[in-house]
Copies of this chain bind each other. A is one copy, B any other.
C-alpha cells in the first residue's frame, strides 16, 4: 500500500504474473489439461492477454520450463559425489515439501506424453539433466540417462500416479534406496568406504 500504487499498468509485471501462474499450473497438471483460461483466471485477466503475452501456448510452456531451471541441480551434478548430492537434492526438494511446487521435474512428469510438450521436455532432459551429469562420468550419457530415468520414475509414480506406498513413505526410508540407485547408474565414483563393496560384474 505504501509502495507502488495500483501497480501501474505494466506489461512487464503482468507478463511475469502470467508466467508464474503458468509455471505453477504446469507443475501440477499436464500440458493438455492446463487451459489458457485457467491461467487467465488465476491472474485475473482475459484469456486473450495470456495468449498474446507469449504468442502461443507452446511458447508459454517453453518459457515456463526455462523459468524453473535454477542452478541447484547442475550444482548437485557437479559435486564431488554426484549421486549423493543428487539424492539429497531430490529427497529434500521433492519429497519433504508439498509436491506441487514449481520445479522442472514436476513439469516434466506432468506433461511427458503431450506431443506438443514432448520436444521441449526432451531438450530439457538432454541439456539440463543428462549433459551436466554425463560430463563427469566415464560411462558417458547412458549412466546419466538411467539415473535421471530413475528419479523421473519415482516422481511419476509418487506425484502423478499417486501410488500410496510412495506417498506414505518417510523421506529417510526412501533416501538410502535412491542413493543406491544413483550409485548403480553413475558408478561408485566416490565412497570406496569401509565396506569396499564392489559390484559382482
Residues of A within 8 A of B (CB): 30, 32-33, 109-115, 118, 121-122, 125-126, 130, 134, 140-146, 148-154, 156-158, 160-166, 169, 173-174, 176-177, 180-181, 183-185, 193, 195, 197, 199-201
Closest chain-B Cβ to A167's Cβ sits at a distance in Å of: 10
The answer to whether A146 and B154 touch across the interface, beta carbons within 8 angstroms, is yes
* Neighbouring B residues of A199 by C-beta, 8 Å: 180
The answer to whether B113 and A163 touch across the interface, beta carbons within 8 angstroms, is no
Closest chain-B Cβ to A89's Cβ sits at a distance in Å of: 17
When all copies of this chain in the complex are counted, the total is 2
* Neighbouring B residues of A145 by C-beta, 8 Å: 157, 163, 165-166
Most chain B Cβ neighbours within 10 Å, of A122, A125, A149: A149
Report how far A122 CA is from B163 CA in the complex, Å. Answer: 7
Q: List 13 A-B contacts (CB under 8 A).
A: A109-B112, A113-B114, A113-B160, A142-B165, A142-B174, A144-B165, A149-B153, A149-B166, A150-B150, A151-B153, A153-B153, A180-B199, A183-B184
* Neighbouring B residues of A109 by C-beta, 8 Å: 112-113
Majority-rule SS of A interface residues: helix
- Which of B32, B134, B165 sits near A32, CB closer than 8 Å? B32
Report how far A158 CA is from B125 CA in the complex, Å. Answer: 12
With A149-B150, A156-B156, A177-B143 as contacts: A161 and B110 at CB distance below 8 Å? no
Closest chain-B Cβ to A77's Cβ sits at a distance in Å of: 15
Q: Chain B: which residue is nearest A154 at the CB level?
A: B149
Closest chain-B Cβ to A71's Cβ sits at a distance in Å of: 23
Q: Which 9 pairs across A and B sit closest by C-beta, in order of nearness?
A: A153-B153, A141-B165, A180-B184, A149-B153, A30-B113, A145-B165, A149-B154, A149-B157, A152-B153
Closest chain-B Cβ to A73's Cβ sits at a distance in Å of: 16
* Neighbouring B residues of A142 by C-beta, 8 Å: 165-166, 169, 173-174, 177
